[in-house]
């Protein structure tokens, strides 16, 4: 999700989001990814990794001209990939299971790396 924290009002927020959405679509096309959308209207390409989603999103924000004006918000729905039996999180794209502490460290690492 993107949050237009640098917008002075709702109208500008909406414009910034719409423009970034279109730049993201073009970015995905250039990288030869699908631009089909998921249930909530967001793009749903088959990426190489979870981190790549953030990298591409940051690229689109910068290319739209909103670096530092649009921030990323994560709703990872972690309960959806938690394995109750092993008490780990199953990361299918990375082909590994990790603990809660490792998941938090991974998110922090991603955010440091994409800035």
For residue 115, is pLDDT > 70?
no
- Phi and psi of 88, rounded to 5°? -130, 165
**Helices first, then strands: H and E counts in the chain:** 3, 5
pLDDT digits (tens, 9 = 90+) for 9-50: 999 999 999 999 999 999 999 999 999 998 888 899 999 888
Contact 25, 43 (CB under 8 A): yes
Contact 2, 59 (CB under 8 A): no
Q: Where are the domains of the chain?
A: 1-75, 76-115
Token digits of residue 33: 């990814």
Q: How confident is the model at residue 104 (pLDDT cuts 50, 70, 90)?
A: very high
| Cβ count within 10 A of residue 70 | 24
pLDDT digits (tens, 9 = 90+) for 56-100: 999 999 999 999 999 998 888 899 999 999 999 998 877 899 999
């Amino acid at each position: 999700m993107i949050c237009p924290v640098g917008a002075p009002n709702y109208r500008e927020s909406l414009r910034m989001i719409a423009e970034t959405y279109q730049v993201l679509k073009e970015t995905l096309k250039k990288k030869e990814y699908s631009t089909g959308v998921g249930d909530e209207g967001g793009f749903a390409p088959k990426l190489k990794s979870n981190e790549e989603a953030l990298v591409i999103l940051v690229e689109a924000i910068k290319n739209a001209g909103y670096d530092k004006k649009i921030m990323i918000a994560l709703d990872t729905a972690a309960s959806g990939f938690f394995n109750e039996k092993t008490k780990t999180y199953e990361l299918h794209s990375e082909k590994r299971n990790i603990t809660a502490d490792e998941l938090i460290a991974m998110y922090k690492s991603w955010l440091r790396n994409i800035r």
